[in-house]
Structure 1
Amino acid sequence: MTGSSQESPAAGVPVPVGAPIRVAMSKWGDQPHWRYSAIFLGSDEHGDWFGCPAGTHMERPGAQYVAPVDQVCLVPGRGSDLARSFVATFHAVGGPVSVYVDITTPPVWEGEDLGAVDLDLDVVRGTSGRIWIDDEDEFAEHRITFGYPERIVALASASCDRIHSLVSAEGAPFDAASSAPWFTLLEALVTDRPSPSGPRGV
C-alpha cells in the first residue's frame, strides 16, 4: 500500500488521496449502467484503489442500491488488456458477498472520472467462501443482442477464467491482506457516519 497517489489515474495526472471521484460504468453501445461517487484511496503494485463508505448511493436505469457496508475497489494498473479487464469490489464483514469482480473492458481514467464497459460476467466469492461465475446467461444473450465483436467475447471469456483462478487461489490481490489496509484508510478518511441518533464524528 502506498500513502500517496500514483501516476495511473489520468495517465500521469495525480488524484489526491481522499479526493472524490465519479464512477460511470456503461454497457456495450454506450448504454448507461451503474453510476456512483467514491473516494480515491491511493495506488499500489496491483493498481488504483477507491472506497465506497456504507450508505453510498448507486443507481442505474431502473435500479438503485445503497451500500450496506464499506467497500473498497481495485482498478488494475498498467498491463495487457487481459490483465486489466476487471473492476474488483471487496466488501467489509456483513456485506452480501466477500468479493465481487466485474469483468469489463480495461477501465479508463479521465481526471477524477473512471469508466469501463461492463461485460456481464462476474466472479463472486460469497461469505461462506463459495466461488462462482455469475450472469453467464446474460453474457450469452448480450453477445448476440448487443453485437459484441469476437475480440470482446474472447477477452471477456479469458479474463473471467483468469480471475476465477486467481480468486479461487486466494492470492494477491484477492486475499484479505491486500484489501485490509485500504479498509483502514477508508475508515480514517470518512469522519462523519450516520448513526441511529443522527450523524456523528468518528
Structure 2
Amino acid sequence: MSDAAARRIWIERRRWPDRPQSRARGYLLGHDEHGTWLGLPAGHEVLRGDAVLYRGPNPVVMCIPDDGWWVANWYDGAVELFVDVTTPARWFDDTVVLVDLDYGVMVQQGAARLVDAERFEEQRLLYEYPSTIEAGARAAASDVLALADAGTPPFALEVASGWFAMLRVVTDGAANGG
C-alpha cells in the first residue's frame, strides 16, 4: 500500500456559485483511466461547518473524472449508484471541491434514471447559472444517463468493487495504526 493510497482528503461540496453545503473526510484510494477514486468508511461524518449533519452508515466509494462534470457515488444499500452532476472538480493539497448543480442520475436494480431535473431548473433560474454551466450540466446528465443505463465503466458496480476492497484495506490499516 502506497502512502498516496492512505492519504486523507477533505471532500467539500458546495452549491452554485460558491456556497458551502457539506464536507467529509475520506481517503484517496488511487487513480485509473476513469479518474480519481476516494472512499468514505462506514460511520463517516458529514459536516456543515463544525456541526455533524449525519453519519453515513455504509461505506461509499467515489469516482471523480479528470475533466468531467460529475462525481459517481457507490453506496452499500438500496441505491447502487448515484451520480451528482457538478462543475469540474477543483483540487487543492488535501481537498477536492465539487459544486453540486442539483441534478443527477440514480441507478437502482440495474435501471438508470434522471433525478432532480425540477430542482436543477429551479436553482438554474434562481441563481442565474451562466449558459456554459447550464450546457455543461445538461450534457453531463444526458451522457451519464446513457452510459450508466448501458452499464458502461466506470458506471458499473464491478468497477467500484475493487475500490471498495481498497477502502477496506486502507481503513483496516488506519484502525490498526497504519
Letter in 1 for 2:72: A
Letter in 2 for 1:88: A
Cα drift, residue 101 of structure 1: 0.4
Q: Deviations for 1:3-48, whole angstroms, at most 9, x for unmatched residues?
A: 75xxxxxxxxxx8111110011111121111211101101111110
**Among 114, 117, 121, which residue is 1:140 paired with?**
121
**Among 88, 99, 103, which residue is 2:85 paired with?**
103
Cα drift, residue 131 of structure 1: 2.0
Q: Deviations for 1:128-184, whole angstroms, at most 9, x for unmatched residues?
A: 223221111111111111110111111100100000001000011111221111111
1:97 alignment partner, SS class: coil
Asked if 1 retains the 8 angstrom alpha-carbon contact of 2:70 and 2:84, the reply is: yes
Q: Deviations for 1:37-73, whole angstroms, at most 9, x for unmatched residues?
A: 1011011111100100111111348982321211110
Gaps of 5+ in 1: 5-14, 194-198
Query: Which stretch of structure 1 is more off in the superposition, 157-166 or 135-144?
Result: 135-144
Aligned match of 1:170:
151
Letter in 2 for 1:119: L
Asked if 1 retains the 8 angstrom alpha-carbon contact of 2:45 and 2:52, the reply is: no
What TM-score do the two structures reach when normalised by structure 1?
0.80
Aligned match of 2:21:
33
Superposition map of 1:65-104 within 5 A: 65-77=54-66, 79=67, 84-92=68-76, 95-104=77-86
2:153 alignment partner, SS class: coil
Q: In 1, distance between residues paired with 2:146 and 2:106?
A: 12
Are 1:154 and 2:172 an aligned pair?
no
Q: In 1, distance between residues paired with 2:28 and 2:97?
A: 14
Count of residues in correspondence between the two structures: 176
Letter in 2 for 1:90: W
Cα drift, residue 91 of structure 1: 1.4
Asked if 1 retains the 8 angstrom alpha-carbon contact of 2:80 and 2:157, the reply is: no
Superposition map of 1:40-59 within 5 A: 40-59=28-47
Q: In 2, distance between residues paired with 1:119 and 1:63?
A: 23
Letter in 1 for 2:73: T
Q: In 1, distance between residues paired with 2:52 and 2:110?
A: 27
Identity %: 32
Highest CA radius of gyration, 1 or 2? Answer: 1
Structure number with the higher strand fraction is 2
Quickly say closer, same or farther: Cα 1:132–1:65, change in 2 above 3 A: farther
Letter in 1 for 2:89: P
